[in-house]
Amino acid sequence: MRLAIAQVPPLDGDPPANLRRLDQLARRAHDCSAELLVLPEMFLTGYVIGRQRILELAGSYHREVAEMATRYHLAIAYGYPERKGATVFNTVGVLDQAGTRLLDQRKIHYFGQLDADQFDPPPRRPPQVVSWRGWQIGVAICYDIEFPETARALAVAGADLIVVPTANMIDYDQVQHLLLPARALENQVYLAYANYCGSDTQHEYGGLSRVLAPTGEVVATATRDPTILVVEIDRDRLTACRQRHSYLADRRFDITLR
Active-site residue, from 107, 146, 197, 241: 107
Q: What is the pTM of this model?
A: 0.96
Q: Is 197 a catalytic residue?
A: no
pLDDT value of residue 251? 86
* Residue 180 pLDDT class (50, 70, 90 cuts): very high
Q: pLDDT per residue over 109-139, tens digit each?
A: 999 899 999 999 988 889 999 999 999 999 9
**Per-residue pLDDT for 60 more than 80?**
no
Instruction: For 194-241, write each residue's pLDDT tens digit.
Output: 999 999 999 999 999 999 999 999 999 999 999 999 999 999 999 999
What's the pLDDT band for 164 if we cut at 50, 70, 90? very high
Query: Residue 86: its pLDDT value, please?
Result: 92
pLDDT at 245: 86
Which 3-state string (H, E, C) describes the chain? CEEEEEECCCCCCCHHHHHHHHHHHHHHHHHCCCCEEECCCCCCCCCCCCHHHHHHHCCCCHHHHHHHHHHCCCEEEEEEEEEECCEEEEEEEEECCCCCEEEEEECCCCCHHHHHHHCCCCCCCCCCEEEECCEEEEECCHHHHHCHHHHHHHHHCCCCEEEEECCCEHHHCHHHHHHHHHHHHHHCCEEEEECCEEECCCCEEECCCEEECCCCCEEEECCCCCEEEEEECCHHHHHHHHHHCCHHHHCCCCCCCC
Q: Give me the catalytic one of 35, 56, 64, 142.
A: 142
35 is catalytic: no
Instruction: Note the pLDDT tens digit of each residue in 21-53.
Output: 999 999 999 999 999 999 999 999 999 999 999
Name the catalytic one among 35, 41, 82, 146: 41
